Amino acid sequence: MNWIKTGIPLLLAISCGPAAAHPGADPYDAATATAIAKAMKAAGKDYRPRTRHLKDDGTATFTNRLILEASPYLRQHAHNPVDWYPWGDEALERARELGRPILLSIGYSTCHWCHVMEEESFEDLEIAEFLNRNYVAIKVDREERPDLDAIYMTAVQALTGRGGWPMTTWLTPAGEPFYGGTYFPARDGDRGAPTGFLTLLQRLHTVYQERPDEIAGQAKTLVARIRNSMQVPKGEALPAADLPRQTALRYKNLFDETWGGLKRAPKFPSSFPLRLLMRIGRSPDDRRLTEMAMVTLDAMAQGGIHDQVGGGFHRYSVDGQWLVPHFEKMLYDNALLAVAYLEAYQIDGEPRRAEVVRRTLDYVLREMSTPAGSFYSATDADSVGPDGHSEEGYFFTWTPAELAAVLGEERASWVGRFYGITTAGNFEGRSIPTRRLDLAELAKELKRPFDELRDALDQARNKLYRARSNRAAPLRDEKILVAWNGLMISAMARGGFVLNEPRYVDAARRAATDLLAHNQREGRLLRSRLGEVASTAGYLEDYAFLIAGLLDLYQVTGEARWFEEAVRLQSVQEAHFADPAGGYFRIADDHETLLVREKPARDGAEPGGNSVALMNLLRLHAWTSEDRYRQQADRLLVGFSSILAGGGNGLTEMLLALGYRHADAREIVLSFPPDGGDPEPFLQVLRGSYLPDAVFVMHRSRSGKNAKSVTPIAEGKVARDGKVTAYICRQGSCERPTNDPARFAEQLKRVPDAVSKTP
């Protein structure tokens, strides 16, 4: 697969003459050909196309419409011999005109098996010729179009009982699926499969032509199953207050006592609700749940899923020990895990957890940040090895000889032991660094002071990182997704506050500023941006995740702008996504018409849009006391109550919000005098306090009795006696205000049953 990774950005097209007609396809009309030629001319002479079909001068034999798209994933397929279309009216109309079925392929740019299917099938001239002659072929980036991905993944799961990417679906010209699956080997017998992709294409085309009633019936049945599956049953009442605890307790029987997480392989961090376990585990009766979360966090931090050299986390582990990862790195995983480790650090104060957060956020700042401050989406699992061929994980793995070449024999010996780098290796003859050895024990064995050895290890890791940087890096998907950026803004803002690292808060500010400036049009969010080109109308998760990030940024800075933007975007979300029955649809009311208008009802690798939207509403209510936010939150909870009552495992993020709703969030105001005051002793108390059911405001009093704020809970709460003053309230009832940080800390430790009515 040496052609897959060129090391050259895959965002442009070549400029050396017209491309050949795709096998089995009609030549492009003049307008399309002109547009493609213009894109090719803009590329520059140094571009190396991602294909094995090259002319003698190294330029691409084929170039299709995908070169006109912004998605890096679509552009990866711009030089396939398959005559790809992007999803849209042109492709659907073409299928109707020709009376052909649609072959829909959905994937994403850092997907290993998507690359495999591309090389085996979509670069194959015979397969391309049959596809072009008998189908309309459409490519979709699942990260840009989660609406399409959700609908057709539901179809594939209904047909096969499982899902994944690449997702391959056969559709009628009306977009109705009638067959599907995931990865298919190219031909019969390949990889042990009895039926290959080419045979499936041939058989299904024959059935489509010769038995249209059968196809129509299958499509009708499957569409009905999709709509039924994606329907949220009507609820009757608020879910029970003890539902979060009952759901968390069920994980006790599923827990892997040795390695943490669930007793299974592969292991995804998102499959084990760490934050829910820690939240319920605050109760003395449920401390075991917190222990389960901590065991899991430690095991992941020590395993191969954690990039021991460069920081950050890979997507999942293929084994049960968090040892061998699927090597792609996703922005959302790193944002969510940073927050989980941060909350764990607030609970037990263990420095190793803070170090994981720092190294994760530093990795993002170093390798995943745009010049303007927003964040890229992902990096690939595959990278080019020394022989020029693409290999999964090569970039992240080591041999003892490579360590010695960088560190010298003596240091490489103990560093290799610490990270488990052996001659035999633990992954295809090479070693994924892990930390199964205790550094304190190693220091005793080597008779060296612990601090000295720790510093030496840090120096060695930095050397390894610099040496690794000379390897061909995995492809980076440089599109900017609003939703994932919203998650990382939250992680940066919260991490900067808790760790007292202003650079992370500054990074959150820069990202928020960039998104608000460049991912909006007429006040509406645009989900995706590549360079300066923003596209695709925003989805529920784009609004919900960004609102959450802005609220976190407001909370840790006290800067009114972020709160005002969050409130404005919440209004847009209400206007275009709200379901009167409760909750929010994924797509806006003016979105294109699809087979179903989904109301997301599951938390997966990313939290569900409705789960995050619910927490946003509850926090807005706590800050503003505006009852409309509480009413909207309660409608959402009632709307999802039937699903939650059936078992909350699939909506654990929503259960965090449900717990918050029943806990009656505390409202904390730190009021500074207008001429100064040192808030740091109070901020230190907040940094070290695990307060999942609280909001806080940092507020500077500017007039005697009535201090104004964008959050009404701060109004009237002045700095007394010219000193920083802390107020802790709940639904308008407040503890006695204090100028004493120690008393403030004591007040935070207790959750009073009744509080006084006067501030």
- pLDDT bin (cut points 50, 70, 90) of residue 1 is very low
d(C-alpha 528, C-alpha 71), whole Å: 8
Mean pLDDT of 21-47: 88
- pLDDT bin (cut points 50, 70, 90) of residue 755 is very low
Check pLDDT > 80 for residue 710.
yes
Check pLDDT > 90 for residue 274.
yes
What pLDDT sits at residue 384? 86
Check pLDDT > 80 for residue 244.
yes
Check pLDDT > 50 for residue 2.
no
660 Cβ partners below 8 Å, 6+ apart? Answer: 615, 618, 692, 693
d(C-alpha 363, C-alpha 343), whole Å: 19
The topology under which CATH files domain 243-381+477-662 is: Glycosyltransferase (1.50.10)
Check pLDDT > 50 for residue 742.
yes
Interval 462-498: pLDDT, tens = 999 999 999 999 999 999 999 999 999 999 999 999 9
Sequence ranges of the chain with CATH classification 3.40.30.10: 30-229
Check pLDDT > 80 for residue 708.
no
Question: CB pairs under 8 A, 24+ apart, for 417-422?
Answer: 417/442, 418/442, 418/457, 419/308
What pLDDT sits at residue 14? 31
CATH number listed for the domain at residues 665-749: 3.40.30
Sequence ranges of the chain with CATH classification 1.50.10.10: 243-381+477-662
Q: How many CB atoms are closer than 10 A to CB 329? A: 28
What pLDDT sits at residue 705? 44
Q: What is the mean pLDDT of the chain?
A: 92
What pLDDT sits at residue 732? 73
- pTM, two decimal places: 0.94
What pLDDT sits at residue 352? 96
What pLDDT sits at residue 730? 86
Check pLDDT > 80 for residue 178.
yes
User: Is 507 exposed, middle or buried (CB count within 10 Å of its CB: 0-12, 13-18, 19+)?
Assistant: buried
Interval 338-347: pLDDT, tens = 999 999 999 9
d(C-alpha 464, C-alpha 299), whole Å: 23
What pLDDT sits at residue 6? 30
d(C-alpha 482, C-alpha 539), whole Å: 9
Mean pLDDT of 345-374: 97
Check pLDDT > 60 for residue 15.
no
Check pLDDT > 90 for residue 98.
yes
d(C-alpha 188, C-alpha 325), whole Å: 30
- pLDDT bin (cut points 50, 70, 90) of residue 751 is low
Check pLDDT > 60 for residue 533.
yes
- pLDDT bin (cut points 50, 70, 90) of residue 377 is very high
- pLDDT bin (cut points 50, 70, 90) of residue 745 is very high
Interval 188-209: pLDDT, tens = 999 999 999 999 999 999 999 9
What pLDDT sits at residue 13? 31
User: Which of 161-165, 482-486, 631-635, 748-752 comes out lowest in average pLDDT?
Assistant: 748-752
Q: What is the SS3 assignment for 583?
A: coil
Distances from the Cα of 702 to the Cα of 10, 668, 705, 722, 738, angstroms: 53, 19, 9, 12, 19
CATH number listed for the domain at residues 30-229: 3.40.30.10
Mean pLDDT of 542-552: 98
